[in-house]
Structure 1
Amino acid sequence: MLRTFLCVYRCGGVARAAGLLGLSQPAVSRHLKTLEGIMSRTLFQRLGRGVAPTQAGHLLAIQIAEHLDALEDAVTALMPAADTSSPVLLGAPSDLLSVYVLPRLTPLLSQGVDVHCRIGLCPELAQELLQDELDLVVVTKIEQAPTRQLHLRHICDEEFILVGRTGEKPYSPKNDGRRFIGYSPAMPMARRYFRTCWGIEPPSPALTVADLRTVVAAVAAGAGLSVVPRYLAQGSLDAGCLSVLHTPDITVSNSIYLAARRGRQHLPQIRTAFELLCPAD
């Protein structure tokens, strides 16, 4: 019952918790009702979509979360070693996969461990990780990943820059109607940049492409402006195809992490991947 409660608390809904726990929704609801009966306290307020913890729910989660996670970690650590013939299933955005991940994973391949990669956006990959469809994923701080259920280690930081085709005038949000390109309709990079620099939301994208290298190419072709990581645009900047259209007072950056389901980071192949991809603290 406590693990069910904690899962509902962390993901904010009975249906999502049921999927993660492999239980039916009525079973999850029964667990919560039984626990509320034992405690004589209401633990969640039922909302139109999902649930919100009451004060009693918050207090219970604070008291039990660390202990339940430690028990789960201890059980996982005592499990038999994973079969090294099983491939590691890894998910990441295509640009991060090619630049940061694959070049560092060659030692794992040399140990005879196969790695099967899946390309996608961070939020979707994080959900697939929690559903045990992936072993590892690359996630970013700006994405809404369920971090309480993940073991995270820092890979690197990326700097965001606002770029346009060479010859474009500097950008100012006041009365500037130029089109923007994003790698998703939500444009989390542009949102971070605009909120940091001007305290406003960015324009809606006229074009979305779920591959940042293609976004950079579209900007160089004159399709619009974009906020992208500097490492992806640097080659085009050096070649004179792109220009930085705004220089912020404070560098706008974002942290990138490697994630596994909490409790699985001790498995040999996953632990090795963390050691290869994540700099030592």
Structure 2
Amino acid sequence: MSQEPAWDLYRTFLAVLREGSLSAAARSLGLTQPTVSRHLEALEDAVRLRLFVRSQRGLTPTEAALELEPYADTIASAAAAMLRVASGHGAVVGGTVRISASEVVGVEVLPPILTALRERHPHLTIELVLSNTVEDLLRRDADIAVRMVEPAQDALVAKHVGIIALGFHAHRRYLDRRGMPATLGELVQHDVIGFDRETPAIRAMLKRVRGVDRSAFALRADSDLAQLAMLRAGFGIGVCQVPVAARDPDLVRVLADAFVLNLPTWVVMHEDLRSSPRCHTVFNALVDGLAAHSKAGASSAHREPGTRPEMPPDKPEW
């Protein structure tokens, strides 16, 4: 390789990989199609590899392109993180902070927290990534993450904010129609909402809860938001965060003494960002807001025998 490729070539390469065609990639990047084509040709010349094959379905990546994808993605994440860091320098708390959270936390819990934060700091810009996968903070895919598992990496700053309880719930309309189950065994007589594909996290939960069988679900969906929507529509009985359900008088806790899952909740960021005013401010706001959320459901959540509620300190320890 006689000359190192420019960063914008990798960005174009990723756009073509994700969009599947030159025209779609051009629209996503705000470039013309000939420019995207020239970028690909320049990258192929630089790395001396063929990266795409034209087909009736568009551009098909070669094996070499698929091997290069994670490295190009790392470059793109680093470039985006650099811009976020640069945006946060100044006399006021401002700039861009990228937050990763699960679907339910991002839609049901964070909006009022982030709204109040924006009112206090109008120069802050928030990028909210909703995903049930764990974003890689070491690669700077996000600046701050809300996680339901304790982070293991030493390079991360983490604050345990409490426990969010999960329990079975149903809409009043459904219970009026079908009645209230008295035992877990009676769930087979009801319309149960549950997962479709069994992930490692779900398998770990199933070990703690007996009597929950995918084959008996009347509706299967991997989206937690879809499950919550069906629960609110009165489709059947499903799992919901206790503090989320507590805000809706029409959602009724079902089998509270027989079924409970406690999710320890963490706010996490890379240790290099703890000196950043913008990240420090957002981190503290998430810690306070999520601690209040977990406390809101503590009084109505049944705890497993032998456990005590864990209450986080008022402020994070750095």
TM-score surpassing 0.5? Answer: yes
Q: Which residue does the alignment assign to 1:208?
A: 221
Shift of 1:161: 0.9
Match of 1:138 among 127, 136, 146: 146
Give the secondary structure class of the aligned counterpart of 1:195: helix
What is the CA–CA distance in structure 2 between the aligned matches of 1:262 and 1:21, rounded to whole Å? 22
- Residue 275 of structure 2 is matched in structure 1 by 266
Which has the higher mean CA deviation after the structures are superposed, 266-275 or 108-117? 108-117
Q: Secondary structure at the match of 1:227?
A: strand
Q: Check 1:217–1:182 CA distance in 2 against 1; reply closer, same or farther (3 A cut).
A: same
**Residues 102/219 of structure 1: CA separation in 2 closer, same or farther (3 Å cut):** closer
Q: Does 1:176 align with 2:176?
A: no
Could you list the per-position Cα deviations for residues 178-231 of structure 1 after superposition, in whole angstroms to 9, with x for gaps in the alignment? 554346633788756653343x6642554215243x423313445343222112
- 1:91-170 equivalent positions in 2, closer than 5 A: 91-105=100-114, 106-108=116-118, 110-111=120-121, 112-123=123-134, 126-127=135-136, 129-141=137-149, 147-164=153-170, 165-166=174-175, 167-170=179-182
**Contact persistence 1:139–1:256 (CA under 8 A):** yes
Does the 8 Å contact 1:108/1:272 carry over to 2?
Answer: no
Distance 1:117 1:253, change over 3 A: same
Q: Deviations over 1:95-127 (max 9, x none)?
A: 32344434233345533121122222242xx23
1:94 to 1:193, Cα distance in 2 relative to 1, 3 A: closer
State the SS of the aligned residue for 2:278: helix
Task: Report 1 or 2 for greater relative contact order, CA contacts < 8 Å, sequence distance ≥ 6.
Answer: 1
Identical aligned pairs, as a percentage?
14
- Paired letter, 2:146: V
CA RMSD, 1 decimal: 3.9
Alpha carbons of structure 1 residues 135 and 83: separation in structure 2 relative to 1, 3 Å: same
Q: Which amino acid aligns with 2:239?
A: V
| Separation (CA, whole Å) in 2 of partners of 1:95 and 1:227 | 12
**Whole-angstrom CA distance in 1 between matches of 2:87 and 2:220:** 47
Aligned to 1:90: 99
Q: Is the 8 A contact 1:155 1:277 kept in 2?
A: no
TM-score by length of 2: 0.50
Structure 2 unaligned residues grouped into runs of 5+: 1-66, 76-84, 289-313
Q: Give how far 1:21 is off.
A: 12
Structure-2 separation of matches of 1:131 and 1:107: 26
Structure 1 pair 136–182 and aligned structure 2 pair: CA distance change class (3 A):
farther
For 2:283 and 2:196, locate their aligned partners in 1 and report how far apart those are by CA, in whole Å.
28
Identify the residue that residue 41 of structure 1 maps to in structure 2. none
Matched residue of 1:253: which SS? strand
- The residue correspondences of 1:37-76 to structure 2 (distance < 5 A) are none
The amino acid across from 1:255 in the alignment is: P
SS of alignment partner, residue 130 of structure 1: coil
Q: CA deviation at 1:251?
A: 5.0
Distance 1:182 1:152, change over 3 A: farther
**Residue of structure 2 in register with 1:278 after alignment:** 287
Give the length in aligned residue pairs: 200
The structure with the larger Rg is 2
Stretches of structure 1 that go unaligned for 5 or more consecutive residues are 1-14, 24-78
Cross-structure match for 2:12? none
Amino acid of the structure 2 residue aligned with 1:161: G
1:215 to 1:22, Cα distance in 2 relative to 1, 3 A: closer
Q: Relative to 1, partners in 2 of residues 1:150 and 1:186: Cα closer, same or farther, differing over 3 Å?
A: farther
- The AA in structure 1 aligned to 2:104 is D
